[in-house]
Amino acid sequence: MGRLSARLFAALILTLSLSIAMTDESKAADPENTLYLDLKDGRVVIEMRPDLAPAHVARIRELVREGFYDGIVFHRVIDNFMAQTGDPTGTGTGGSGKNLAAEFSDFEKFYRGTLGMARSQNPNSADSQFFIVLERAEWLDRQYTIWGEVTEGMEFVDMIKKGEGQSGMVQDPDKIIKMQVAADAKD
Protein backbone atom coordinates (compact mmCIF):
# COMPACT_ATOMS: atom_id res chain seq x y z
CA MET A 1 0.00 0.00 0.00
CA GLY A 2 2.85 2.41 0.81
CA ARG A 3 4.47 1.77 -2.59
CA LEU A 4 1.18 2.39 -4.43
CA SER A 5 0.57 5.61 -2.52
CA ALA A 6 4.07 6.83 -3.31
CA ARG A 7 3.52 6.11 -7.04
CA LEU A 8 0.14 7.86 -7.02
CA PHE A 9 1.68 10.80 -5.22
CA ALA A 10 4.55 10.97 -7.73
CA ALA A 11 2.09 10.77 -10.65
CA LEU A 12 -0.03 13.51 -9.13
CA ILE A 13 3.01 15.78 -8.67
CA LEU A 14 4.13 15.13 -12.28
CA THR A 15 0.64 15.85 -13.63
CA LEU A 16 0.38 19.03 -11.59
CA SER A 17 3.86 20.18 -12.71
CA LEU A 18 3.00 19.59 -16.37
CA SER A 19 -0.30 21.41 -15.96
CA ILE A 20 1.42 24.44 -14.43
CA ALA A 21 4.08 24.44 -17.15
CA MET A 22 1.45 24.26 -19.91
CA THR A 23 -0.51 27.11 -18.30
CA ASP A 24 2.62 29.29 -18.14
CA GLU A 25 3.51 28.46 -21.76
CA SER A 26 0.02 29.17 -23.07
CA LYS A 27 -0.12 32.46 -21.15
CA ALA A 28 3.25 33.58 -22.50
CA ALA A 29 2.37 32.48 -26.02
CA ASP A 30 -0.88 34.48 -26.22
CA PRO A 31 -0.26 36.64 -29.31
CA GLU A 32 -2.94 39.17 -28.25
CA ASN A 33 -0.99 39.86 -25.05
CA THR A 34 2.49 39.81 -26.58
CA LEU A 35 4.20 42.88 -28.01
CA TYR A 36 7.22 43.17 -30.27
CA LEU A 37 9.25 46.29 -29.53
CA ASP A 38 11.85 46.77 -32.26
CA LEU A 39 14.88 48.84 -31.27
CA LYS A 40 18.02 49.73 -33.23
CA ASP A 41 19.89 46.81 -31.65
CA GLY A 42 17.16 44.14 -31.80
CA ARG A 43 13.69 42.95 -30.87
CA VAL A 44 12.29 43.05 -27.34
CA VAL A 45 9.39 40.72 -26.55
CA ILE A 46 6.93 41.96 -23.94
CA GLU A 47 4.26 39.91 -22.21
CA MET A 48 1.37 42.19 -21.28
CA ARG A 49 -0.43 41.54 -18.00
CA PRO A 50 -4.19 42.04 -18.37
CA ASP A 51 -4.57 40.13 -15.11
CA LEU A 52 -2.93 43.09 -13.34
CA ALA A 53 -4.01 46.09 -15.41
CA PRO A 54 -6.78 45.27 -17.90
CA ALA A 55 -7.57 48.90 -18.82
CA HIS A 56 -3.90 49.80 -19.32
CA VAL A 57 -3.21 46.71 -21.42
CA ALA A 58 -6.28 47.41 -23.58
CA ARG A 59 -5.16 51.02 -24.12
CA ILE A 60 -1.54 50.07 -24.89
CA ARG A 61 -2.77 47.44 -27.36
CA GLU A 62 -5.05 50.05 -29.00
CA LEU A 63 -2.21 52.59 -29.30
CA VAL A 64 0.18 49.97 -30.68
CA ARG A 65 -2.35 48.95 -33.32
CA GLU A 66 -2.73 52.62 -34.33
CA GLY A 67 1.07 52.85 -34.82
CA PHE A 68 1.23 55.46 -32.06
CA TYR A 69 4.58 54.28 -30.66
CA ASP A 70 6.42 53.87 -33.98
CA GLY A 71 9.27 56.39 -34.08
CA ILE A 72 8.75 57.72 -30.54
CA VAL A 73 11.96 58.38 -28.61
CA PHE A 74 13.20 57.20 -25.23
CA HIS A 75 13.31 60.74 -23.86
CA ARG A 76 14.31 59.85 -20.30
CA VAL A 77 16.77 57.05 -19.54
CA ILE A 78 18.48 56.78 -16.16
CA ASP A 79 21.30 54.25 -15.86
CA ASN A 80 20.53 51.45 -13.37
CA PHE A 81 16.92 52.66 -13.08
CA MET A 82 14.67 52.87 -16.14
CA ALA A 83 14.09 53.81 -19.79
CA GLN A 84 10.97 55.94 -20.47
CA THR A 85 9.13 56.47 -23.76
CA GLY A 86 5.64 57.04 -25.11
CA ASP A 87 5.59 60.84 -25.43
CA PRO A 88 4.98 61.99 -29.02
CA THR A 89 6.55 65.38 -28.21
CA GLY A 90 9.75 63.81 -26.85
CA THR A 91 9.73 66.21 -23.89
CA GLY A 92 8.10 64.08 -21.19
CA THR A 93 4.98 66.26 -21.14
CA GLY A 94 2.93 64.77 -23.98
CA GLY A 95 0.63 61.82 -24.39
CA SER A 96 -2.26 60.41 -26.36
CA GLY A 97 -4.83 62.57 -24.58
CA LYS A 98 -6.59 59.84 -22.59
CA ASN A 99 -5.83 59.43 -18.89
CA LEU A 100 -6.28 56.07 -17.19
CA ALA A 101 -7.26 55.27 -13.61
CA ALA A 102 -4.49 53.62 -11.60
CA GLU A 103 -4.42 49.82 -11.44
CA PHE A 104 -1.82 49.28 -8.73
CA SER A 105 -0.83 45.76 -7.72
CA ASP A 106 -0.46 44.73 -4.09
CA PHE A 107 1.63 41.68 -4.95
CA GLU A 108 3.64 42.32 -8.15
CA LYS A 109 6.91 44.19 -7.77
CA PHE A 110 9.14 46.31 -10.02
CA TYR A 111 12.00 44.01 -10.98
CA ARG A 112 14.38 44.25 -13.93
CA GLY A 113 12.30 44.06 -17.11
CA THR A 114 9.01 45.18 -15.53
CA LEU A 115 6.96 47.69 -17.56
CA GLY A 116 5.13 50.42 -15.68
CA MET A 117 3.05 53.43 -16.63
CA ALA A 118 4.53 56.89 -16.17
CA ARG A 119 2.26 59.47 -14.54
CA SER A 120 2.20 62.85 -12.83
CA GLN A 121 1.60 63.31 -9.08
CA ASN A 122 -2.01 62.31 -9.74
CA PRO A 123 -2.21 58.48 -9.58
CA ASN A 124 -4.95 58.54 -12.24
CA SER A 125 -2.95 60.47 -14.84
CA ALA A 126 -1.20 57.66 -16.77
CA ASP A 127 -1.65 58.08 -20.52
CA SER A 128 0.69 56.68 -23.18
CA GLN A 129 4.08 57.06 -21.49
CA PHE A 130 5.64 53.95 -20.01
CA PHE A 131 8.98 52.82 -18.67
CA ILE A 132 11.03 49.64 -18.54
CA VAL A 133 12.83 49.05 -15.25
CA LEU A 134 16.55 48.30 -15.62
CA GLU A 135 17.13 47.19 -12.01
CA ARG A 136 14.94 46.41 -8.97
CA ALA A 137 13.05 49.59 -7.98
CA GLU A 138 11.13 48.82 -4.79
CA TRP A 139 10.10 52.48 -4.26
CA LEU A 140 7.80 52.11 -7.31
CA ASP A 141 5.89 49.15 -5.83
CA ARG A 142 2.18 49.92 -5.28
CA GLN A 143 2.78 53.46 -6.62
CA TYR A 144 2.75 52.85 -10.38
CA THR A 145 0.71 50.53 -12.60
CA ILE A 146 2.55 47.40 -13.76
CA TRP A 147 1.25 46.28 -17.15
CA GLY A 148 3.91 43.97 -18.58
CA GLU A 149 7.31 42.37 -18.47
CA VAL A 150 10.15 41.81 -20.90
CA THR A 151 10.47 38.10 -21.67
CA GLU A 152 13.18 38.36 -24.36
CA GLY A 153 15.65 41.01 -25.47
CA MET A 154 16.45 42.81 -22.24
CA GLU A 155 20.03 43.09 -23.52
CA PHE A 156 18.68 45.41 -26.24
CA VAL A 157 16.91 47.57 -23.65
CA ASP A 158 20.25 47.86 -21.83
CA MET A 159 21.74 49.34 -25.04
CA ILE A 160 19.29 52.27 -25.18
CA LYS A 161 21.22 55.55 -24.99
CA LYS A 162 21.33 56.89 -21.42
CA GLY A 163 20.53 60.43 -20.37
CA GLU A 164 22.55 62.94 -18.38
CA GLY A 165 22.22 63.81 -14.70
CA GLN A 166 19.37 63.04 -12.34
CA SER A 167 16.66 63.96 -14.86
CA GLY A 168 17.91 61.38 -17.35
CA MET A 169 16.87 63.55 -20.31
CA VAL A 170 18.56 62.23 -23.44
CA GLN A 171 20.20 64.31 -26.16
CA ASP A 172 19.72 62.72 -29.60
CA PRO A 173 17.72 59.83 -28.06
CA ASP A 174 17.16 56.32 -29.38
CA LYS A 175 13.66 55.57 -30.62
CA ILE A 176 11.16 52.80 -31.02
CA ILE A 177 11.53 51.64 -34.61
CA LYS A 178 8.28 49.70 -34.57
CA MET A 179 5.95 48.29 -31.95
CA GLN A 180 3.36 45.67 -32.82
CA VAL A 181 0.98 43.18 -31.25
CA ALA A 182 2.33 39.69 -32.00
CA ALA A 183 -1.07 38.63 -33.38
CA ASP A 184 -0.72 41.33 -36.07
CA ALA A 185 3.02 40.96 -36.73
CA LYS A 186 4.14 40.69 -40.33
CA ASP A 187 7.77 39.88 -39.48
Question: 133 with 81: CB under 8 angstroms?
Answer: yes
Decide if pLDDT at 16 tops 50: no
Interval 33-40 mean pLDDT: 98
Domains of the chain, residue spans:
32-184
Q: Which amino acid is at 83?
A: A
State the pLDDT at residue 125.
97
State the pLDDT at residue 47.
98
State the pLDDT at residue 24.
47
Decide if pLDDT at 14 tops 70: no
State the pLDDT at residue 5.
58
Q: What's domain 32-184's superfamily in CATH?
A: Cyclophilin-like (2.40.100.10)
List % helix, strand, coil for the chain (3-state, nearest 5). Answer: 30, 25, 50
Q: Looking at per-residue confidence, does 186 or 21 come out higher?
A: 186
State the pLDDT at residue 187.
78
Supply the mean pLDDT for the chain: 90
Interval 114-119 mean pLDDT: 98
pTM: 0.84
State the pLDDT at residue 145.
98
Which H, E and C letters describe 96-158, residue by residue? CCCCECCCCCCCCCCCCCEEEECCCCCCCCECCCEEEECCCCHHHCCCCCEEEEEEECHHHHH
Decide if pLDDT at 178 tops 80: yes
State the pLDDT at residue 7.
59
